[in-house]
Amino acid sequence: MLNLLDTLFKIEGFAVARCDGSDLDVLLDLARHEAPDAALLDVHLKRMNGLEALRRIRQDPQLYKVKVVMTSGLDKRTESLAAGADDFIQKPFMPEQLVNIIRKRLLS
């Protein structure tokens, strides 16, 4: 899935940085280094809770303004928005839906 999303965003003209979600500190360090405008974050990551990662992003003085779109195969919209997400998209989704949400958030 990461490879497909990487390709999709690059085709759409976005610069992409990836993290496999195995370590929260690595994710936060990468985000601080890359200074993204937006992030797509899954609720269920390999070794961490995506909602907890989102909370940490919102608490970080360098990252709290990053637009975060959460995703999950389950309907976790309410939990995601309550944790500070800017938007939520449930899997499976169409590529153009995701791109449109990211663009919309970047403009807000």
Q: What band does 65 get if pLDDT is binned at 50, 70 and 90?
A: very high
Give the domain extent around 8: 2-107
Taking 90 as the threshold, does the pLDDT of residue 42 lie above it?
Answer: yes
CA 17, CA 39: separation in Å to the nearest integer? 9
* CATH label of the domain that carries residue 66: 3.40.50.2300
Q: Most confidently modeled of 13-22, 42-51, 63-72?
A: 63-72
In angstroms, what is the C-alpha Rg of the chain? 13
Cα dist from 23 to 12, 30, 31, 45, 48, whole Å? 28, 11, 12, 9, 7
Q: What pTM value is reported for the model?
A: 0.93
Average pLDDT of span 60-88: 97
Quick: pLDDT tens for 9-25.
Answer: 999 999 999 987 778 99
- DSSP characters over 16-53: -----SS-HHHHHHHHHHH--SEEEEESB-SSSBHHHH
The domain total for the chain is: 1
Taking 90 as the threshold, does the pLDDT of residue 29 lie above it?
Answer: yes
